[in-house]
Amino acid sequence: MRVLLPLGLPQAYDYRVPVSLMVQDGDFVVVPLGPRQLVGVVWGEGLGDIASSRIKNIIEKLPAPPLPEEVRKFIDWVATYTMTPPGMVLRLAMRAPGALEPAAMRRAYRLAGPPPVRLTPARKRVLEVAADGFARRAGELAEEAGVSNGVIKGLADAGTLEKVDLPSEEPFEDPDPTAQQPILSPEQAEVAGHLRARIGVNEFSATLLDGVTGSGKTEVYFEAVAEAIDQNRQVMILVPEIALTAQFLKRFEVRFGCLPAQWHSDLSSRERRRVWRGVAEDRVKVVVGARSALFLPYPNLGLIIVDEEHENAFKQDEGVAYNARDMCVVRASLGAFPVVLATATPSLETMSNVWSGRYAHEVLPRRHGGAVLPTIKPIDMRQHPPERGKWLSPVLVSAVGETLARDEQALLFLNRRGYAPLTLCRTCGHRLGCPQCDAWLVEHRFRKQLQCHHCGYQAPSPSACPDCGEEDSLVACGPGVERIMEEVKVSFPEARIALLSSDVLRGPAAYGEAIRQIQDHEIDLIVGTQIVAKGLNFPLLTLVGVVDADLGLENGDLRAGERTYQLLHQVAGRAGRAQKPGRVLMQTYMPEHPVMGALVSGDRDKFLEREARGREMLGYPPYGRLVALVLSGPELDKVQGLSRELALRVPHSDKVSVLGPAPAPISLLRGRHRVRFLVKATREAHVQGFVAQWLEGVKVPSSMRLSVDVDPHNFL
């Protein structure tokens, strides 16, 4: 049999099955590899490409359910598409330490024999508690009876209590599709009906659930989830960030009577084991997770929901470079079940699939419960500039003042952490840069630190210029959220202000507490980065001020316009979610820019069509295909040498062209020099084949790395 190991090897290898073992495809087995013993997965019949004298035996089979065929096919598919060794993709499916061993047991006690001869009052209380026949841990039993652990031990020694082993893991609760069904509006009910009808027909379908923020997309796709649960199928809900799941989980719990299983990078290894195993054994019905939940071993998956499908967070850039949104569609098609992509601002990729008829399109055009969409207006910063040394236009400042005076909440949004993005010396003009990257250091004044946002380098803020030595000569240039915070504290000394930024709110608990304070109106004014942009519901929030609407348009990324639109639209959607109407003011130096125009007019589709035409003309995705190759290494001349060599090898093709080599936009990252190629192909071209042919036989020295990113989203 072939066994695939979770390593960067090019393929699965043949192993012999000893007569004492019964193994089938998908079984987890232990095999020798050189001097090591590793866990791998049986991956089909052997190819017989190894001399039989050299074939080694499978050592043992592990007591875990086999990896389902659908999952194995999916792993192969992802590996081929992303041009990564299949073992590296398998590794994503095996990230649950201990999941392949039998569950740990815990020692418990229950009533077994006659009462002891010496029946003290304490012992009597224990017997009363244990009379129900349930097994309890010594500690639990002692606590319930109000005795010390020693009493329990004494009763066990006397033979009155017996020791039993119970699985130590909490079982999973089954979500109840009828726990609390909402009354859907006619529009919502119609869409929900369509989604329900696609479940359980054993047919692939992809649906864009396209609804303005607050239209009830979540309520509606919960109906599809309920249907899948009814039909006894597993469901996966992918969400872009863990941070925004606190409110989400609560809603799920209200709708289905219990929490779903969760899967993300912050889980303890115990919890990972529990969820992985629960999924593999079909005990877990619904998983809510980050992109890696896609690689859990579902034997019975029947529905995938991708919430906020346009989100960049679904794209993994490192290791196996995959787009979880796209791979969800692949997974659903391999499993012949529906996938629902929900968003208020569809990606152009998804929209073009709707236009071509590949995806169904369900629209929720109105906010639920009569809440109206906020009005959006630009503030032309050329006409209404801020005072010297400030960043907020008087127009925005007075709007904030009015809002607070009405006892409502306001949000000032700036997608930039820290105090200032650049520090410069007034005397010599020196700019403080990261020693390991081609990037400026960002001042974080609260922590009195300079940080590199690319590699995490940190240093105390110096008092003198490191170049010319001049004291007190360093000045902060441009604003980050901390600086806006400083400004509003002066402008609104009475207001209760919160700063929401990922480096200030560390971990889900701090985040949850901040959300609670805002909900309970313990906060009047919020200054925040994009962590406040998404998914949150604050009924009293009626004003959103965008401090720098032009920020995302500055980089030349092909999706800059699309992304800026999505982000600003999403932030705007935070305003006026309940009965009070909301308004949005965007500070911009380019009020005539198409992105601003689309936000103000609300004509999203016209904007998307315009973007689409631009991309089509240039042959960019989704009308063409891209693969980014980045060659990196510590020595510039070696990196350049190998990139020249690669350039000479580019195969000829009418459908594919290669741009570069050129220094990557961040040409130095974590001490490594980076050179980039961009492969640009027509949609019909077999671009992976082209790249494979190009790179065939290329030896990359171990100090260097060549990373391949199919359908890149990140062009740094």
Among 368, 417, 569, 680, binds ligand ADP (CB under 6 A): 368
Among 22, 131, 183, 617, binds ligand ADP (CB under 6 A): 183
In this structure, the number of other CB atoms found within 10 A of the CB of residue 522 comes to: 11
Q: Which residues make beta-bridge pairs with 526? A: 411, 498
Burial 572-607 (b: 16+ CB within 10 A, else e): bbbbbbbebebbbbbbbeebebebbebbeeeebeeb
Give least dist CB 217 to ligand ADP, A.
Answer: 3
CA distance 293 to 283: 16
Residue 208 tokens, joined: 């864009």
Residue closer to Zn ion by CB (options 344, 437) is 437
All residues at 6 or more sequence positions from 78 whose CB lies less than 8 Å from its CB, including other chains: 84, 89, 320, 322, 327, 330
Q: Which of Zn ion, ligand ADP, none sits in contact with 640, Cβ below 5 to 8 A by type?
A: none
Q: Which of Zn ion, ligand ADP, none sits in contact with 653, Cβ below 5 to 8 A by type?
A: none
441 binds Zn ion (CB under 5 A): no
In this structure, the number of other CB atoms found within 10 A of the CB of residue 459 comes to: 14
Q: Nearest to residue 390, comparing CAs of 530, 499, 520, 488?
A: 488
Binding window for Zn ion (CB under 5 A); candidates: 28-36, 432-440, 552-560, 627-635: 432-440
457 binds Zn ion (CB under 5 A): yes
ω into 121 cis (within 30 of 0): no
Binding window for ligand ADP (CB under 6 A); candidates: 190-198, 214-222, 491-499, 510-518: 214-222
449 binds Zn ion (CB under 5 A): no
Residue closer to ligand ADP by CB (options 215, 393) is 215
Report the run of H or E that residue 224 belongs to, with start and end: helix 217-230
User: Which residue minimizes CB distance to ligand ADP?
Assistant: 216
Contact status, residue 693 vs residue 308, Cβ threshold 8 Å:
no
Q: Which of ligand ADP, Zn ion, none sits in contact with 215, Cβ below 5 to 8 A by type?
A: ligand ADP
Q: Which of Zn ion, ligand ADP, none sits in contact with 368, Cβ below 5 to 8 A by type?
A: ligand ADP
> What is 372-440 written as a DSSP string?
PPPEEEEEETTTSPPPTT--S-HHHHHHHHHHHHTT-EEEEE-S--SSBSEEEETTT--B-B-SSSSSB
Q: Nearest to residue 221, comparing CAs of 184, 273, 247?
A: 184
Residue closer to ligand ADP by CB (options 211, 346) is 211
366 binds ligand ADP (CB under 6 A): no
Q: Which of ligand ADP, Zn ion, none sits in contact with 434, Cβ below 5 to 8 A by type?
A: Zn ion
Identify the DSSP state of 490.
H
CA distance 421 to 548: 13
539 binds ligand ADP (CB under 6 A): no
Report the run of H or E that residue 39 belongs to, with start and end: strand 36-42
CA distance 592 to 634: 44
Q: Which of Zn ion, ligand ADP, none sits in contact with 11, Cβ below 5 to 8 A by type?
A: none
Residue 622 tokens, joined: 């989704």
How many residues would you count in the chain?
716
Give least dist CB 560 to ligand ADP, A.
Answer: 25
Residue closer to ligand ADP by CB (options 371, 392) is 371
Q: Nearest to residue 534, comparing CAs of 223, 239, 252?
A: 239
Name the E strands within 455-533.
458-460, 474-477, 497-500, 525-528
Residue closer to ligand ADP by CB (options 130, 515) is 515
Interior angle at CA 338, CA 240 and CA 563, nearest 5: 35
Among 79, 332, 434, 476, binds Zn ion (CB under 5 A): 434
Among 216, 289, 338, 418, binds ligand ADP (CB under 6 A): 216
Residue closer to ligand ADP by CB (options 534, 673) is 534
Q: What is the dihedral of CA 665, 670, 673, 678, to 10 degrees?
A: -40
Report the run of H or E that residue 564 belongs to, with start and end: helix 560-572
Binding window for Zn ion (CB under 5 A); candidates: 100-108, 120-128, 201-209, 445-453: 445-453
Residue closer to Zn ion by CB (options 436, 537) is 436
Among 72, 91, 123, 217, binds ligand ADP (CB under 6 A): 217
CA distance 484 to 391: 7
219 binds ligand ADP (CB under 6 A): yes
Report the run of H or E that residue 628 belongs to, with start and end: strand 624-633
Map residues 377-416 to x or -, x wherever contact with Zn ion holds by CB under 5 A. ----------------------------------------
Residue closer to ligand ADP by CB (options 207, 218) is 218
Site for ligand ADP in 619-658 (CB under 6 A): none
Q: Which of ligand ADP, Zn ion, none sits in contact with 349, Cβ below 5 to 8 A by type?
A: none
Binding window for ligand ADP (CB under 6 A); candidates: 93-101, 217-225, 297-305, 678-686: 217-225
211 binds ligand ADP (CB under 6 A): yes
CA distance 58 to 42: 10
Site for ligand ADP in 57-86 (CB under 6 A): none
346 binds ligand ADP (CB under 6 A): no
Residue 517 tokens, joined: 């304070």
CA distance 66 to 103: 16
- In terms of C-beta density within 10 A (0-12 exposed, 13-18 middle, 19 or more buried), how is residue 655 classed? middle
240 binds ligand ADP (CB under 6 A): no
Sign of CA dihedral 505, 447, 541, 521: positive
537 binds ligand ADP (CB under 6 A): yes
214 binds ligand ADP (CB under 6 A): yes
Binding window for ligand ADP (CB under 6 A); candidates: 184-192, 397-405, 407-415, 546-554: 184-192
Binding window for Zn ion (CB under 5 A); candidates: 28-36, 389-397, 456-464, 569-577: 456-464
674 binds Zn ion (CB under 5 A): no
213 binds ligand ADP (CB under 6 A): yes
Contact status, residue 707 vs residue 676, Cβ threshold 8 Å:
no
Binding window for Zn ion (CB under 5 A); candidates: 226-234, 306-314, 431-439, 558-566: 431-439
Among 11, 292, 333, 436, binds Zn ion (CB under 5 A): 436
Among 191, 424, 452, 629, binds Zn ion (CB under 5 A): 452
Residue 645 tokens, joined: 């060599």
Give least dist CB 558 to Zn ion, A.
Answer: 25
Give least dist CB 408 to ligand ADP, A.
Answer: 18
Contact status, residue 632 vs residue 675, Cβ threshold 8 Å:
yes
Contact status, residue 679 vs residue 620, Cβ threshold 8 Å:
no
550 binds ligand ADP (CB under 6 A): no
Among 455, 527, 547, 675, binds Zn ion (CB under 5 A): 455
Map residues 489-528 to x or -, x wherever contact with ligand ADP holds by CB under 6 A. ----------------------------------------
In this structure, the number of other CB atoms found within 10 A of the CB of residue 517 comes to: 14
Number of residues located near Zn ion, criterion CB under 5 A: 7
ω into 622 cis (within 30 of 0): yes
Residue closer to Zn ion by CB (options 445, 670) is 670
Give least dist CB 432 to Zn ion, A.
Answer: 12
182 binds ligand ADP (CB under 6 A): yes
Bridge-based pairing of strands 2-4 and 13-14 is antiparallel
CA distance 71 to 118: 60
Contact status, residue 44 vs residue 12, Cβ threshold 8 Å:
yes
Interface with Zn ion (CB under 5 A): 434, 436-437, 452, 454-455, 457
Interface with ligand ADP (CB under 6 A): 182-185, 188, 211, 213-219, 368, 537
